[in-house]
Amino acid sequence: MNRPPLLIAGNWKMNKNIRETREFLNQLLNSLKTPLTCEVAIFPPFTSLPAAAEILKNTPIRYGAQNLHWKESGAFTGEIAPVFIAEIGCHYCIVGHSERRRLFGETDEICNLKVKAAQHHRLRPILCCGETLEEQRQNETFNVLHNQLEKGLKDVTIPDFDLAYEPVWAIGTGQNATPEQAEKVHRWIRDWLRNKFADYSLQVRILYGGSVKPENAHQLIAQPDVDGLLIGGASLEVNTFVAIVNSCQR
């Protein structure tokens, strides 16, 4: 079974207005080496998704949402229904980013609802998982991941999703896992997926996210079980993001 192409994803978080989004994407399209040998996706704020949809139409670059609600509609002030995201042409949606878990109290059970809602609307969720510094120091990494994956993917029978391992201790800190550390965790996740989905587990990409920059991107992506990158701060500057993407093309 053929594995899908590498996925290089830029998560802008709460950054870039509509004008800045347009400027970035136009520069990106003019700067990337083509044809692309990896998949590139951008995750702008909700307000910039229409601009992204317009500019990226008929291009190889995909776009997605940073979050979604699991309900179709209702009295959920400030939330975004999956049907709204699908309607605007999003291909992906991030679920369970560590900032959503830490700042907004998202649980594994909530992530599970979001994963299934995304799949129902033919969005491909990217479920994030990862341990804190304290959990890492206590050698709890694999126990934490096991719980997050078991609960976050409960009753998910179709491997139409991707995962992002984001060690919380490496996000926005300047620290990062070595390529060998990342591969060790990614290999464990691959084995977990294989136990659940057998050969179809290879259709699930496991991205690494945690202080990715041009200097370490190629070494990370060279690991056999690192199938892509979820990039935060380094995706906000177009030349930096292009350097990462170009270094990952095979």
CATH topology of domain 7-229+243-248: TIM Barrel (3.20.20)
pTM for the structure as a whole? 0.96
11 belongs to an annotated ligand binding site: yes
C-alpha torsion 13→157→120→144, nearest 10:
-20
So what's the pLDDT on residue 7? 98
How many Å is the maximal CA-CA distance in the chain? 48
Residues 85 and 65: their CA atoms lie apart, in Å, by 7
Whether 228 has a binding-site annotation, put simply, is no
Predicted confidence at residue 174, as pLDDT, reads 65
SS3 of 43, please? strand
- Structure confidence at residue 204 (pLDDT): 98
64 is in an annotated binding site: no
Q: Is 233 annotated for ligand binding? A: yes
pLDDT digits (tens, 9 = 90+) for 167-197: 998 876 667 789 999 999 999 999 999 999 9
The predicted structure's pLDDT at residue 220 = 96
Those residues whose C-beta lies under 8 Å from the C-beta of residue 65, and which sit 6 or more positions away, are: 43, 46, 49, 80, 85, 90, 92, 93, 94, 123
* Nearest alpha carbon to residue 145 among 179, 202, 116, 188: 188
Instruction: Determine the pLDDT at residue 105.
Output: 97
pLDDT digits (tens, 9 = 90+) for 51-66: 999 999 999 999 999 9
pLDDT for 176 equals: 75
Residue 12, annotated ligand binder? yes
User: CB-side exposure of 71: number of CA atoms within 13 Å?
Assistant: 7
User: Tell me: the pLDDT tens digits for 68-96?
Assistant: 999 999 999 999 999 999 999 999 999 99
pLDDT-derived band at 211, boundaries 50, 70, 90: confident
Strand pairing class (162-165; 62-65): unpaired
78 annotated among ligand-binding-site residues: no
pLDDT at res. 239: 98
pLDDT grade for 32, boundaries at 50, 70 and 90:
very high
Instruction: Between 126 and 134, name the one with better pLDDT.
Output: 126
The alpha carbon dihedral of 28, 33, 35, 40 has a sign of negative
User: What's the mean pLDDT in 154-175?
Assistant: 88
Residue written as tokens 């369970």?
96
pLDDT tens sequence across 214-231 = 999 999 999 999 999 999
Residue 222 has a pLDDT of 96
| Cα 169 from Cα 52, distance rounded (Å) | 31
Active-site residues, by number, are 97, 166
Burial class (CB in 10 A: 0-12, 13-18, 19+), 206: buried
